[in-house]
Amino acid sequence: MQPQDTFVQPAALPDAMLLAATGGLLDAVVYLNHGHVFANAMTGNIVFFAIAIFGRDWTEIIPHLVPLAGFFAGVLTSKHLRTRLGMRSVVLGLALEIVAIFVLGWLPGSFPEMAFTGIIAYVAAFQVASFRRVDRFAYNSTFITGNLRDVAEGLYDALTPGSTAETREKGSSQARALGLICLCFLVGAILGAWAAPRFGNHSLWLTEPFLLAVAILAFRRPSMPAPVHA
Protein backbone atom coordinates (compact mmCIF):
# COMPACT_ATOMS: atom_id res chain seq x y z
CA MET A 1 0.00 0.00 0.00
CA GLN A 2 1.28 3.47 -0.89
CA PRO A 3 2.26 5.78 1.95
CA GLN A 4 -0.18 8.63 2.27
CA ASP A 5 2.54 11.23 1.66
CA THR A 6 2.91 10.12 -1.97
CA PHE A 7 -0.38 11.90 -2.66
CA VAL A 8 1.00 15.17 -3.93
CA GLN A 9 -0.46 16.99 -6.92
CA PRO A 10 1.08 16.16 -10.31
CA ALA A 11 0.95 19.53 -12.07
CA ALA A 12 0.32 20.01 -15.76
CA LEU A 13 2.93 22.18 -17.47
CA PRO A 14 0.75 25.34 -17.57
CA ASP A 15 0.13 25.00 -13.80
CA ALA A 16 3.85 24.56 -13.13
CA MET A 17 4.71 27.62 -15.23
CA LEU A 18 2.18 29.78 -13.36
CA LEU A 19 3.43 28.55 -10.00
CA ALA A 20 7.04 29.26 -11.00
CA ALA A 21 6.13 32.81 -12.03
CA THR A 22 4.46 33.22 -8.64
CA GLY A 23 7.58 31.96 -6.86
CA GLY A 24 9.87 34.36 -8.69
CA LEU A 25 7.59 37.33 -8.15
CA LEU A 26 7.17 36.68 -4.42
CA ASP A 27 10.90 36.36 -3.86
CA ALA A 28 11.68 39.58 -5.75
CA VAL A 29 9.00 41.63 -3.97
CA VAL A 30 9.81 40.35 -0.48
CA TYR A 31 13.57 40.71 -1.01
CA LEU A 32 13.33 44.28 -2.28
CA ASN A 33 10.63 45.58 0.05
CA HIS A 34 11.08 43.59 3.25
CA GLY A 35 14.58 43.51 4.61
CA HIS A 36 16.47 41.63 1.87
CA VAL A 37 15.27 38.19 2.88
CA PHE A 38 13.70 35.60 0.58
CA ALA A 39 10.12 34.37 0.66
CA ASN A 40 10.97 31.00 -0.91
CA ALA A 41 14.72 30.60 -1.45
CA MET A 42 15.60 29.12 1.92
CA THR A 43 19.14 28.35 0.73
CA GLY A 44 19.78 32.07 0.40
CA ASN A 45 18.28 32.75 3.81
CA ILE A 46 20.51 30.11 5.40
CA VAL A 47 23.60 31.64 3.75
CA PHE A 48 22.66 35.13 5.00
CA PHE A 49 21.86 33.66 8.43
CA ALA A 50 25.30 32.02 8.58
CA ILE A 51 27.03 35.23 7.49
CA ALA A 52 25.16 37.18 10.19
CA ILE A 53 26.20 34.65 12.84
CA PHE A 54 29.85 34.72 11.75
CA GLY A 55 29.88 38.51 11.66
CA ARG A 56 28.00 38.74 14.96
CA ASP A 57 25.46 40.96 13.24
CA TRP A 58 22.71 40.22 15.71
CA THR A 59 20.25 42.57 14.01
CA GLU A 60 20.28 40.34 10.90
CA ILE A 61 20.06 36.94 12.56
CA ILE A 62 16.38 36.96 13.54
CA PRO A 63 15.11 38.49 10.24
CA HIS A 64 16.66 35.58 8.34
CA LEU A 65 15.58 33.00 10.89
CA VAL A 66 11.89 34.00 10.80
CA PRO A 67 11.19 32.97 7.17
CA LEU A 68 13.05 29.70 7.76
CA ALA A 69 10.77 28.99 10.72
CA GLY A 70 7.70 30.04 8.70
CA PHE A 71 8.67 27.77 5.81
CA PHE A 72 9.30 24.84 8.15
CA ALA A 73 5.93 25.34 9.84
CA GLY A 74 4.20 25.61 6.46
CA VAL A 75 5.65 22.30 5.26
CA LEU A 76 4.59 20.60 8.50
CA THR A 77 1.06 21.99 8.14
CA SER A 78 0.88 20.89 4.50
CA LYS A 79 2.01 17.39 5.48
CA HIS A 80 -0.65 17.24 8.20
CA LEU A 81 -3.38 18.37 5.80
CA ARG A 82 -2.32 15.88 3.13
CA THR A 83 -2.43 13.10 5.70
CA ARG A 84 -5.92 14.07 6.87
CA LEU A 85 -7.56 15.38 3.69
CA GLY A 86 -5.65 13.79 0.80
CA MET A 87 -5.84 15.71 -2.47
CA ARG A 88 -8.39 18.19 -1.09
CA SER A 89 -5.49 19.72 0.82
CA VAL A 90 -4.01 20.98 -2.47
CA VAL A 91 -6.91 23.33 -3.19
CA LEU A 92 -7.12 24.27 0.50
CA GLY A 93 -3.42 25.19 0.55
CA LEU A 94 -3.77 27.29 -2.61
CA ALA A 95 -6.83 29.02 -1.17
CA LEU A 96 -4.91 29.87 2.00
CA GLU A 97 -2.03 31.28 -0.07
CA ILE A 98 -4.41 33.35 -2.22
CA VAL A 99 -6.23 34.82 0.79
CA ALA A 100 -3.05 35.53 2.75
CA ILE A 101 -1.37 37.27 -0.19
CA PHE A 102 -4.49 39.34 -0.84
CA VAL A 103 -4.60 40.48 2.80
CA LEU A 104 -0.86 41.18 2.92
CA GLY A 105 -1.20 43.31 -0.20
CA TRP A 106 -3.45 45.69 1.77
CA LEU A 107 -0.94 46.19 4.56
CA PRO A 108 1.07 49.41 4.80
CA GLY A 109 4.83 49.44 4.44
CA SER A 110 5.07 50.10 8.18
CA PHE A 111 3.79 46.60 9.00
CA PRO A 112 6.55 44.66 10.84
CA GLU A 113 8.81 43.08 8.24
CA MET A 114 9.52 39.90 10.19
CA ALA A 115 5.81 39.13 10.59
CA PHE A 116 5.29 39.84 6.89
CA THR A 117 8.09 37.57 5.70
CA GLY A 118 7.15 34.82 8.13
CA ILE A 119 3.56 34.73 6.82
CA ILE A 120 4.68 34.75 3.18
CA ALA A 121 7.15 31.92 3.80
CA TYR A 122 4.46 29.93 5.64
CA VAL A 123 1.85 30.09 2.89
CA ALA A 124 4.38 29.70 0.07
CA ALA A 125 5.52 26.44 1.68
CA PHE A 126 2.13 24.91 0.82
CA GLN A 127 2.90 25.48 -2.85
CA VAL A 128 6.33 23.87 -2.78
CA ALA A 129 5.16 20.97 -0.61
CA SER A 130 2.06 20.15 -2.67
CA PHE A 131 3.35 20.54 -6.24
CA ARG A 132 6.49 18.49 -6.85
CA ARG A 133 6.02 16.91 -10.27
CA VAL A 134 5.19 18.19 -13.71
CA ASP A 135 4.10 15.40 -16.04
CA ARG A 136 6.86 12.77 -15.62
CA PHE A 137 9.45 15.02 -14.00
CA ALA A 138 10.23 16.31 -10.53
CA TYR A 139 10.46 20.11 -10.29
CA ASN A 140 10.31 22.98 -7.85
CA SER A 141 8.17 26.07 -8.35
CA THR A 142 9.92 28.35 -5.85
CA PHE A 143 13.63 27.96 -6.65
CA ILE A 144 15.34 26.71 -9.77
CA THR A 145 18.71 25.14 -8.92
CA GLY A 146 17.41 21.60 -9.34
CA ASN A 147 15.35 22.62 -12.37
CA LEU A 148 18.44 24.03 -14.10
CA ARG A 149 20.35 20.84 -13.33
CA ASP A 150 17.61 18.76 -14.93
CA VAL A 151 17.48 21.03 -17.99
CA ALA A 152 21.20 20.45 -18.53
CA GLU A 153 20.87 16.68 -18.04
CA GLY A 154 17.88 16.55 -20.34
CA LEU A 155 19.79 18.40 -23.05
CA TYR A 156 22.68 15.99 -22.64
CA ASP A 157 20.39 12.97 -23.08
CA ALA A 158 18.64 14.57 -26.03
CA LEU A 159 21.83 15.52 -27.88
CA THR A 160 24.14 12.58 -27.13
CA PRO A 161 24.49 10.57 -30.38
CA GLY A 162 24.63 7.21 -28.59
CA SER A 163 21.35 7.70 -26.70
CA THR A 164 18.34 5.56 -27.51
CA ALA A 165 15.32 7.14 -29.16
CA GLU A 166 13.39 6.82 -25.89
CA THR A 167 16.18 8.50 -23.92
CA ARG A 168 16.42 11.33 -26.44
CA GLU A 169 12.67 11.88 -26.38
CA LYS A 170 12.55 11.92 -22.59
CA GLY A 171 15.58 14.22 -22.39
CA SER A 172 14.08 16.61 -24.89
CA SER A 173 10.76 16.72 -23.03
CA GLN A 174 12.54 17.23 -19.71
CA ALA A 175 14.71 20.06 -21.02
CA ARG A 176 11.75 21.77 -22.68
CA ALA A 177 9.35 21.52 -19.71
CA LEU A 178 11.84 22.50 -17.03
CA GLY A 179 13.39 25.16 -19.24
CA LEU A 180 9.97 26.80 -19.59
CA ILE A 181 9.50 26.62 -15.82
CA CYS A 182 12.87 28.31 -15.25
CA LEU A 183 11.96 30.99 -17.81
CA CYS A 184 8.65 31.66 -16.06
CA PHE A 185 10.42 31.98 -12.71
CA LEU A 186 12.73 34.56 -14.31
CA VAL A 187 9.79 36.44 -15.82
CA GLY A 188 8.02 36.47 -12.44
CA ALA A 189 11.15 37.80 -10.73
CA ILE A 190 11.53 40.53 -13.36
CA LEU A 191 7.87 41.49 -12.92
CA GLY A 192 8.34 41.58 -9.14
CA ALA A 193 11.50 43.70 -9.44
CA TRP A 194 9.61 46.17 -11.63
CA ALA A 195 6.49 46.28 -9.43
CA ALA A 196 8.02 46.31 -5.94
CA PRO A 197 9.34 49.91 -5.90
CA ARG A 198 6.27 51.22 -7.74
CA PHE A 199 3.37 49.54 -5.94
CA GLY A 200 4.81 48.38 -2.62
CA ASN A 201 2.83 45.57 -1.04
CA HIS A 202 0.12 45.94 -3.70
CA SER A 203 2.56 44.30 -6.12
CA LEU A 204 1.81 40.98 -4.39
CA TRP A 205 -1.60 41.05 -6.02
CA LEU A 206 0.04 40.35 -9.37
CA THR A 207 0.37 36.74 -8.21
CA GLU A 208 -3.36 36.35 -7.61
CA PRO A 209 -4.45 35.59 -11.21
CA PHE A 210 -1.72 32.93 -11.45
CA LEU A 211 -2.74 31.22 -8.22
CA LEU A 212 -6.46 31.46 -8.96
CA ALA A 213 -5.95 29.82 -12.35
CA VAL A 214 -3.98 26.96 -10.78
CA ALA A 215 -6.57 26.51 -8.01
CA ILE A 216 -9.43 26.32 -10.53
CA LEU A 217 -7.54 23.83 -12.69
CA ALA A 218 -6.60 21.72 -9.65
CA PHE A 219 -10.22 21.73 -8.45
CA ARG A 220 -11.56 20.64 -11.83
CA ARG A 221 -8.85 18.10 -12.64
CA PRO A 222 -9.42 14.53 -11.47
CA SER A 223 -7.18 13.82 -8.48
CA MET A 224 -4.69 10.99 -8.61
CA PRO A 225 -1.64 10.01 -6.66
CA ALA A 226 1.68 11.20 -7.98
CA PRO A 227 3.79 8.47 -9.59
CA VAL A 228 6.39 6.95 -7.31
CA HIS A 229 9.84 6.40 -8.82
CA ALA A 230 12.70 4.55 -7.29
Task: Work out the pLDDT band at 69, boundaries 50, 70, 90.
Answer: very high
pLDDT at 60 over 90: no
Q: How far is CA 55 from the centre of its chain?
A: 30
Lowest mean pLDDT, pick from 36-45, 142-151, 212-221: 212-221
pLDDT digits (tens, 9 = 90+) for 80-116: 988 888 777 888 888 999 999 999 999 987 888 889 9
C-alpha dihedral over 174, 38, 124, 222, to 10 degrees?
A: -10
| Domains, in order of start, for the chain | 8-218 (1.20.1250)
Task: Write phi, then psi, for 79 (nearest 5 degrees).
Answer: -60, -45
Can you give the pTM of this predicted structure? 0.85
At 72, which amino acid appears? F
**Among 124, 109, 121, 114, CA closest to 201:** 109
**51 has pLDDT over 80:** yes
Higher per-residue pLDDT: 1 or 208: 208
pLDDT at 208 over 70: yes
